[in-house]
């Protein structure tokens, strides 16, 4: 099922009807494809048993592929995780925005995403954290438009929320933080920008 925003560009005025549909799908253990500022993402309840494995099956990803989680902000993430000081510094400069912050937890590493998109924020505000991974088959092009996701994930996802073309069209920059910072993938935000902003 596809739900298309009435406007060409999402202005943040997400209808309560749309959000209720999204909530129902997520509460029933199904997945959605939703827009972010970078690319369309594949969302599900990350705390539901078996959901991470389900996301990997949908994407045809390796069984050890990490799946990030999207929160409304770092205060929200800190309700679930203990964040190092460097994560807060990055968040102050770059979040919400195209940055994934990876931290160590007792269960292993976890990626934290705070998408800068009104629809994604509305979903998280109403439902809670959702998975954040590009809505594509592993190894194939990541979708800037919902139709690309529909073609690749045909029949595997319950709801596609079409808010038009994603603004940036490139993956988030992924950084691992602890006592030091390690850039795992350079995306929209350059290594130089990060270094300049936080004095590295």
Could you give all domains of the chain from N- to C-terminal order, each with its CATH number?
A: 2-198 (3.90.870.10)
pLDDT score of 23 more than 80: yes
pLDDT digits (tens, 9 = 90+) for 122-145: 999 999 999 999 999 999 999 999
* Contact (CB, 8 A) for 70 and 115: yes
Identify the burial level of 185 via C-beta atoms within 10 angstroms of its C-beta, where 0-12 means exposed, 13-18 middle and 19 or more buried. Answer: exposed
pLDDT digits (tens, 9 = 90+) for 48-105: 999 999 999 999 999 999 999 999 999 999 999 999 999 999 999 999 999 999 999 9
More confident residue, 128 or 2: 128
């Amino acid at each position: 099922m596809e739900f298309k925003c009435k406007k060409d560009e999402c202005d943040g005025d997400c209808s309560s009807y749309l959000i209720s549909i999204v909530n129902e799908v997520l509460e029933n253990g199904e997945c959605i494809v939703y827009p972010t500022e970078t690319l369309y993402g594949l969302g599900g309840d990350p705390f539901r048993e078996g959901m991470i494995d389900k996301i990997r099956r949908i994407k045809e990803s390796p069984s050890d592929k990490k799946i990030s989680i999207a929160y409304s902000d770092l205060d929200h993430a800190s309700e679930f995780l203990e964040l190092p000081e460097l994560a807060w510094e990055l968040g102050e400069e770059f979040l919400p925005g195209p940055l994934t912050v990876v931290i160590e937890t007792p269960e292993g590493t976890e990626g934290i995403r705070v998408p800068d998109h009104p629809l994604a924020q509305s979903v998280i505000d109403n439902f809670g954290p959702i998975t954040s991974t590009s809505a594509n088959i592993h190894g194939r092009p990541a979708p800037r438009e919902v139709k690309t996701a529909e073609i690749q994930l045909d029949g595997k996802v319950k709801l596609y929320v079409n808010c038009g073309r994603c603004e940036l069209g490139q993956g988030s920059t992924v950084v691992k933080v602890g006592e030091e910072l390690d850039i795992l993938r350079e995306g929209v935000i350059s290594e130089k920008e990060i270094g300049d902003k936080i004095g590295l």
